[in-house]
Amino acid sequence: MKTFSKLKSTVVYPWTVFRKKVPLGSFIVSRIVTMIVLLYLLGFALFGLMELAPGDIVDQMMSQQIMTEMSAGKTKQSVQDAKFSEEQEQKLREEFGIDKPFYVQYGAWLKRVVIHHDLGTSLISRAPVSFLISSRIWNSVLLNLISLVFITAFSFLLGVYFSSKAGTRTDIAATFFALFFHAFPGILLLILLQLFASLTGLFPVTAYPEFPFSEAPVKFTFSYMHHIFLPLLASFLGGIGGTMRMIRSTMLDQMGMPYIMALRARGISERRVYLNHAFKNTLNPYITGSANLLAGLFSGSLILEIIFAYPGIGRLMYEAVTQQDVNLVLANSMFVSALVLAGMVISDILLAVVDPRIRYGAN
């Protein structure tokens, strides 16, 4: 009883006061705590799933060595001699730390990250995981942010425009093409665009320049825009359909509201009704769905980066999973998940900014 009273006086009461005085701040703190718990559970689940996968990284190394020996034309006996002995395999597993149960491995990894701020080293390349991620993550962030900006801008422009043409042939045609590209398989669209680039030669079949930014910044910028045009087009066509239809339907719903009829009765121009009043209320559902859109872009960029050989985090994740590089897989997943969860928190904050009716935590 005393313990409960002490906990209530030291934690519950100050939190209640803080929540009443700063409701949005308390909401942000609670969401950050929730993010930390979700990331912890995600890491635990990932370690468990990697444990369920057949084989491990030592088996991968042994298979690669045998394939190398066979491709070099060695005899069957020499290939057999090249296999690791059981003692060597056990020694390698101890060296990599994969000889223990997955929850013990996860605890050791979590302790190293939290206390020493060290993501470990890649089990394959032996390079620091933080270096591998930092060299790829900004490529994926840049590509997905550009996609998000284009999808957002054109979705609002087309959604508002076609809502004013509801029921016309133009609106029906736009709805048809939006549904078509929304339902079209993304991987097939990427393959068709790469075949188009290969046959016509108008665009590169890879999505990244062959020289670094530091070598020629201006030339790199124009070359980068040329290389990512087709991947961006595929991402744009796959994302704009659903977003545009959502904004169009929200606009149509707002235009039927009583306050719109009152504004029209007061003689306010149709343009002001659309842009100054109805348009503002379309921001709420878009902001709510923007975090899911960003998460979809990140998950979809995995296929994009593999097909177009784009050096991003998705391709790095694919290589790490196929090689069962546990440290790299976990760090990649946690980093991308943290970005997506942070995007959800930001979207919730923006909702409170654009809509004065929303007050998190207020009674």
- Report residue 202 as tokens: 């108008």
Domain residue ranges of the chain, discontinuous segments joined by +: 15-116, 139-354
- Report residue 32 as tokens: 């950050």
Domain 139-354 CATH (choose: 1.10.3720.10, 3.30.70.890, 3.40.710.10, 3.30.70.270): 1.10.3720.10
Kindly report the length of the chain.
Answer: 363
Q: 3-state secondary structure string, 72-124?
A: CCCCHHHHHHHCCCHHHHHHHHHHHCCCCCHHHHHHHHHHHHHHHCCCCECCC
Nearest alpha carbon to residue 142 among 202, 247, 220, 197: 220
Average pLDDT, the chain: 77
Beta strands, E only, the chain: none
What single string gives the DSSP state of each residue in 138-183?
A: HHHHHHHHHHHHHHHHHHHHHHHHHHTTTTSHHHHHHHHHHHHHHH
Rounded CA separation 164/278 (Å):
12
The 10s digit of each residue's pLDDT in 326-336 is: 778 888 778 77
User: Mean pLDDT throughout 48-54?
Assistant: 73
pTM as predicted: 0.73
The 10s digit of each residue's pLDDT in 63-110 is: 666 566 555 555 555 545 555 566 666 676 666 666 777 788 788 888
The 10s digit of each residue's pLDDT in 216-268 is: 888 888 888 988 898 888 888 888 888 888 888 888 887 778 887 888 888 88
Quote the pLDDT of residue 105.
79
Quote the pLDDT of residue 65.
61
The 10s digit of each residue's pLDDT in 104-136 is: 878 888 888 888 777 777 777 778 888 888 888
